[in-house]
Structure 1
Amino acid sequence: MTSTDATGAAAGTGVPDDDKLDAGVLKVAGVVVLGIVMAILDTTVVNVALTKLNQEFNTSFDTIQWVVTGYMLALATVIPVTGWASDRFGTKRLFISAIAAFLVGSILAGFAWDITSLVVFRVLQGFGGGMLMPAGMTIMTKAAGPHRVGRVMAVLGVPMLLGPIGGPILGGWLVDDVSWRWIFYINIPLGIVAIIAALRVLPKDAPEPSEKFDFPGMLMLSPGLAALIYGVTKIPSTGTVTDIEVWLPALAGIALIIGFVLRARSAEHPLIDLSLFKDRTYSVAVLSMMFFSISFFGAMLLFPQYFQLIRQESALDTGLLLIPQGLGAMVTMPIAGKLTDKIGAGKIVLPGLVLILAGMAFFTQIEATTPYWQILGALFVLGLGMGATMMPIMSAALATLRQHQVAKASTSLNVVQQTSGAIGSAIMSVILAGLLASKFNVPTNAGQFVADAAIKNPQMHDVAVTMSADAFSSTFVWAVVLIAVCVIPALFLPKHPPTSLDAQDEAGEAAPPILVH
């Protein structure tokens, strides 16, 4: 029989018998989720308000897109600094500071007087929002311990579900019935409550001895990520990768990132600790997250465009039609979190990817007259797959690391997720734009506008919607291919319960050898 010590940990395992999330961990999780949901909700709310903002400031579509692009660039710039800041100032102080920065940016954005001021204030929001997710992941992982990381990640997935479900609905209502300024002002009460709750609930954490900050690394990685994302996000508007606005910043960004990697291999305290990738599980999980983010988040861009272009639905109705996807994820996410801790992420992620492939395969056959009940059913299946995929991958990435490695590990994981998601969205956008342009025999950057005008023309409606729907179904074929690629690294995810190096050391066991590739 196995004896247990006073803490309830089974001898020789380092894992408590009672591994449920206790009240203290749930309180911490609630505060973290409150802060993160504010940032994620704001992103989806703004997306449905772009048309109104375009009219309000009387500017071009390419210009108004910077309300979103500026926020993304700020996220990419600030995330690499978060790991060092967590160690230097403590995750509690960093999390509260991030909420405050996001709140200030929200207030100023609500007061914006022209498009330039709005973009600048959205960048300030991005600086705060970029630190919220990695800091929150670090706080929750440390509070729960490695043996409960799957369940705590499932809790962290709540804002990722509430954003896609509630954001478009809330944004559509505020823009139509209140004022576009309230898509930013709505963050004021949420931010104040989150700061008060964080001050009272989050445990104090002693900052570790300060390492020398890697300024050269920051000057390479942050601008490199920003330049890469800038170049990629210009693809849909230019219609080609050969335009200087695309390839010049993208190449400059890649060069800066490569320079950072080469320098970080020998730097004493690099901005992102590349030695983490000596952990096989972490490396496989990061690779899986990269392919998943490119494929899944790129494909998610297509659904609202289909509803609004082909079916001529409003932004609010589009948000309502996307609800089944969030409901599906709500079903599987808590189950997947618990099972990840019990049987390993690999046995959960692979079935999740199969569900995503099944749901996405349906959309490769979608038409202009496909019944809504079939579309909503396929979206529900996609949600089931997403709930069993994303957070277990994150759990696998962090579960085998030591406590002092979690902050920097979650930072690099978020960098991969944000960058890959932006690249995936651009890939799907340029494929769809190219297919629409070829259908209507127009320049690539005019394809969607010409299709929209043709669909609204009663004489051309039937032919136009058929041609446009065919472009969407062909684009979904590429989404299926990209998601299938994600299966390859997922095959190597652990198929056993996670045990961190800290837990092994506490149990008196030698740490396993680290594989170096």
Structure 2
Amino acid sequence: MSARARIATLYLLGFAIDLANMFIFNAALPALGRELAASVAELAWVGTIYMLGLTVAIPLGSWLARRIGERRVLVASLLIVAVGSIGGGKASGIATLLAWRLVQGLGGGLLVPVGQSMAYRAYPPEDRAHLTAVVMTVALLVPALSPAIGGVAADHVSWRWVFIGIAPLAAAIAVLALVWAPVDRLTGAKPALDIQGFLLSAITLFCLPLGLTLISQTGSGPQAMILLVIAAVAGVAYVRHALRSREPLLDLRLLSDPMLRTGSIIYLCVPGVFTGVNLIASLYFQDRLGLTATQTGMMMLPWAGAAFVAIMSTRKLFASRGPRPLFLVGMALTSVGVLLLATPFAGQFLVRIASFIAMGFGASLCTSTAQTAAFTSIRTERTAEASALWNINRQLSFSLGGSVLGGLLGLFLVTNGGAGTAMPYRTCFVIASILIVLPLPFVLRLQPLEPSV
């Protein structure tokens, strides 16, 4: 295996670990909730708090790599993930489990940008398209297979092994990184951290989803409002700081580019909302429709097949049609797929299959088109900064999707007195279908693609 192939393999393995941590727990959530006596809102935080750790740590990964070296950051991040996985598997309560999930997220957030940078730098520009295809394949297969694996573990062993099983994998990849990754040779001045920007962004990204989650909990309204006000104040302060700073942690001025701006909004409203829909569907299928965790996890397989077709179609269609029609078709199909779950026919197997096929094709069409469109008009020298902004938005979208819809479900369940009806779930699906088409005004304003500069 060549040196560049080894580096790419390290990144892909680490990326797979990160994706598994996002999706493998969905089908195991009901079992986890029963054993730890966790509410729906608390279960939503199993995914959300991991996303928060990712979001906070992603910009620090590149900065730390310049300070102490990429190889050291890569190894340390994998070991942090391993420790967090062991701790989560041994957790005796939901609060302890969430703390260890945050540790996992911090490790994953350091891993992703550093591994990606190493892999793409190892390949010349003419070979990066092949690397991207492999990355997208991993990004498709792992989310598709992980829920099924998590469901089988929850049904036949224990949900705890979903956590513990990740630890030896992360540790083994860390050993490979010590052997395969090039030794760090640091040169030049060590960059200073934008401390003010980091603190303001961390406060915003932590308080916003926490406040949204607490809204659904009885008696937590005042605390939720305080957190949301803190998030709003810190967010506005960060925007002002970023627009005035010469080297902000995240350069928001890049969002003046319509392609990057629209792609970011699409990510918030389509794959981000789907994260919440998948969470609610997992609970709905098992708590109301009587499906097993294994059957619930298997629903991602037709999703994956449709998603693969969409991803393979995007490259050709993007060049011939441009992003606007692809976005329109993707949003429409995803919204229709979610609405199918809101109908009384969702208990039928074929209706669920049709729903996940529509969501898989539509969401993946939007995602792959957004990924391509976002960097078409960004100057080469600004690509690294745009990439950091893009990855923060990507993680924020997943975090908000689970927080908003999970919080709404908790609120609707409380409002209905915990009655065993499907209405709270169906109401969330309808709201999600509306959120998915919110980017429509931005998409309609997109102009035909121009040559990049």
The Cα offsets for residues 206-241 of structure 1, whole Å up to 9 and x where unpaired, read as 76753321111111111221011211122333498x
1:360 paired residue number: 338
Q: Could you tell me which of 325, 335, 339 is aligned with 2:303?
A: 325
Amino acid at match of 1:120: A
Between 1:386-395 and 1:57-66, the stretch displaced more is: 57-66
CA contact (8 A) 1:349 1:389 kept: yes
**CA shift for structure 1 position 133:** 3.4
**CA shift for structure 1 position 123:** 1.8
Counterpart mapping for 1:359-508 below 5 A: 359-364=337-342, 366-368=343-345, 370-402=347-379, 405-433=382-410, 437=413, 443-444=414-415, 447=417, 449-451=418-420, 464=421, 468=422, 470-492=423-445, 495-496=448-449, 499=452, 501=453
1:456 paired residue number: none
Residues 415, 40 of structure 1: CA spacing in aligned structure 2 closer, same or farther, 3 A cutoff? same
* C-alpha RMSD over aligned residues: 3.5
Secondary structure of the residue that 1:43 maps to in structure 2? Answer: helix
CA contact (8 A) 2:209 2:404 kept: no
1:120 paired residue number: 99
Amino acid at match of 1:283: R
**CA shift for structure 1 position 390:** 0.8
Measured in 2, the distance between the counterparts of 1:486 and 1:188 equals 39
The Cα offsets for residues 333-365 of structure 1, whole Å up to 9 and x where unpaired, read as 13324654676544543433333244334345x
**CA shift for structure 1 position 113:** 5.1
Residues 347, 222 of structure 1: CA spacing in aligned structure 2 closer, same or farther, 3 A cutoff? same
Is 1:230 matched with 2:199? Answer: no
**CA shift for structure 1 position 423:** 2.5
TM-score (ref. length: structure 1): 0.75
Amino acid at match of 2:167: I
Counterpart mapping for 1:265-344 below 5 A: 265-337=243-315, 339-340=317-318, 344=322
CA contact (8 A) 2:258 2:446 kept: no
Measured in 2, the distance between the counterparts of 1:133 and 1:184 equals 19
Measured in 1, the distance between the counterparts of 2:303 and 2:345 equals 20
1:257 paired residue number: 235
Amino acid at match of 2:191: E
Number of residue-to-residue matches in the alignment: 452
The Cα offsets for residues 178-221 of structure 1, whole Å up to 9 and x where unpaired, read as 33332122123422343344456667787675332111111111
CA contact (8 A) 2:48 2:400 kept: no
**CA shift for structure 1 position 171:** 1.5
1:81 paired residue number: 60
Measured in 1, the distance between the counterparts of 2:128 and 2:36 equals 45
Amino acid at match of 1:252: I
**CA shift for structure 1 position 432:** 4.3
CA contact (8 A) 1:340 1:497 kept: no
1:216 paired residue number: 196
Residues 484, 309 of structure 1: CA spacing in aligned structure 2 closer, same or farther, 3 A cutoff? same
**CA shift for structure 1 position 79:** 2.7
Is 1:107 matched with 2:80? Answer: no
1:248 paired residue number: 226
Amino acid at match of 1:192: A
Residues 313, 92 of structure 1: CA spacing in aligned structure 2 closer, same or farther, 3 A cutoff? same
Measured in 1, the distance between the counterparts of 2:5 and 2:440 equals 33
Measured in 1, the distance between the counterparts of 2:279 and 2:329 equals 23
**CA shift for structure 1 position 91:** 4.9
Amino acid at match of 1:410: S
CA contact (8 A) 1:396 1:493 kept: no
1:505 paired residue number: none
CA contact (8 A) 1:348 1:389 kept: yes
Is 1:179 matched with 2:158? Answer: yes
Give unmatched runs, 5+ long, in structure 1: 1-22, 438-442, 452-463, 502-517
Counterpart mapping for 1:168-207 below 5 A: 168-199=147-178
Residues 52, 317 of structure 1: CA spacing in aligned structure 2 closer, same or farther, 3 A cutoff? same
Secondary structure of the residue that 1:157 maps to in structure 2? Answer: helix
The Cα offsets for residues 487-506 of structure 1, whole Å up to 9 and x where unpaired, read as 3323455744864x4xxxxx
Residues 210, 275 of structure 1: CA spacing in aligned structure 2 closer, same or farther, 3 A cutoff? farther
CA contact (8 A) 2:148 2:297 kept: yes
Amino acid at match of 2:369: P
Amino acid at match of 2:405: M
Measured in 2, the distance between the counterparts of 1:368 and 1:99 equals 44
CA contact (8 A) 2:299 2:353 kept: yes
**CA shift for structure 1 position 65:** 5.6
Between the aligned residues of both structures, percent identity stands at 27
CA contact (8 A) 1:149 1:395 kept: no
Residues 202, 129 of structure 1: CA spacing in aligned structure 2 closer, same or farther, 3 A cutoff? same
Q: Could you tell me which of 11, 15, 19 is aligned with 1:40?
A: 19
1:161 paired residue number: 140
Residues 26, 186 of structure 1: CA spacing in aligned structure 2 closer, same or farther, 3 A cutoff? same
Structure in which a larger fraction of residues adopt helix: 2
Secondary structure of the residue that 1:272 maps to in structure 2? Answer: coil
Residues 77, 482 of structure 1: CA spacing in aligned structure 2 closer, same or farther, 3 A cutoff? same
Amino acid at match of 2:428: T
TM-score (ref. length: structure 2): 0.85
The Cα offsets for residues 288-342 of structure 1, whole Å up to 9 and x where unpaired, read as 3233344433333332233123311122211113321122112221332465467
Measured in 2, the distance between the counterparts of 1:383 and 1:43 equals 17
CA contact (8 A) 1:432 1:471 kept: yes
